[in-house]
Amino acid sequence: MRAARGLRKDVVETCQLLFQRGWVANHDGNITVRLDGDRYLATPTATSKGNITEGSLIEVDRSGKRLAGTGRPFGELGLHLAVYSRRDDVGAVVHAHPPHATAIACSRGNPIERPFIAEAVVSIGAAIPKIGFAMPGAEATGALSAAVDDVDAVLLANHGAIAWGADVEQAYLRLELLEHLARIAVLAQPLGGVQPLPDSAIKSLLERRARAGLGKAADNAVRTPGQHSTTPDRATTHESASPASPDASSATLARVIREEIMRVLDQSVTK
Ligand SMILES: [Zn+2]
């Protein structure tokens, strides 16, 4: 695991990205990272993501109780903890209100639920569900828990979006992909709307997702006895595994997918 100091730096840099990209307003958005044992690094409540510093981050336990730091835990912490409780492979959770994703989250329907770009299936899963609106607390946590095993990002109805991954970079990139898909879906609306991928493509894409060590349910769906027995749930952004990896082609595939996603996102930023 990255040293605690490095993790704090990662969180602050990601907060800056959320702020600079206009994915948060006021005190919106929050980030957590799983530390050793029953400890989680978290952004404090009531602070603009543009003003978060390494020293202002707090540490909490799995019940949400503050263990270190002076700031207070944020109200949506239960959503993050629900993800960690169901996914041992997850090391970070990022929540924000990106405008296009939130526009869909606050509208009727969900044009990004069924995947229309292959990378979405590999990076996030077979669907991007919209979790029904729930007041913060146990109700919201329960609603999210049902989706956590199957996918790595969801829309939160009348609220925003949340994504998770092996580390804060991967969680952020998944949120970025979700927002990118939402923007495409909104742009496609006057053209008749996005055309989902054929169902026949989904299964093979999910197999690629599993072979790349991404996600959880997909791994279980295609794992056979003895396969991947030494690489349990290695969901990681650092897919460029060593050549000695038992599945070097998976590592290559994951790298190609990641580069493709970055290329698409770079284009969207420069245009
Ligand atoms: Zn929120």
DSSP string, 199-222: HHHHHHHHHHHHHTT--SHHHHHH
Cα of 200 from ligand 1 centre, angstroms: 35
Cα of 227 from ligand 1 centre, angstroms: 39
Cα of 247 from ligand 1 centre, angstroms: 38
pLDDT, tens digit, 9 for 90 and up, residues 15-61: 999 999 999 999 999 999 999 888 999 999 999 999 999 999 999 99
**Alpha-carbon distances of 177 from 34, 95, 123, 152, 189, rounded to whole Å:** 22, 13, 8, 11, 18
Cα of 47 from ligand 1 centre, angstroms: 13
Cα of 248 from ligand 1 centre, angstroms: 39
Which protein residues have a CB closer than 5 Å to ligand 1 (ion)? 160
Alpha-carbon distance of 8 to 221, in angstroms, equals 35
Q: For 28-42, 63-77, 91-105, 253-267, which range has the lowest pLDDT when averaged over its residues?
A: 253-267
Cα of 27 from ligand 1 centre, angstroms: 9
Please check whether residue 112 is in contact with residue 185, taking contact to mean a CB–CB distance below 8 angstroms: yes
Q: Is the pLDDT of residue 139 over 60?
A: yes
Alpha-carbon distance of 195 to 202, in angstroms, equals 14
Q: At a CB cut-off of 8 Å and minimum separation 6, what does 128 contact?
A: 110, 112, 113, 115, 120, 151, 153, 154, 155, 178, 181
Cα of 24 from ligand 1 centre, angstroms: 9
In our burial notation (b when 16+ CB lie closer than 10 A, e otherwise), range 142-159 reads: ebbbebbebbbbbbbbeb
pLDDT, tens digit, 9 for 90 and up, residues 240-258: 333 333 344 445 555 555 5
Confidence band (pLDDT; 50, 70, 90) for 142? confident
* Residue recorded with tokens 């054929």: 198
Alpha-carbon distance of 270 to 267, in angstroms, equals 5
Tokens of 204: 């093979």
Cα of 75 from ligand 1 centre, angstroms: 9
pLDDT at 39: 97
Alpha-carbon distance of 141 to 234, in angstroms, equals 25
* Residue recorded with tokens 């991007």: 128
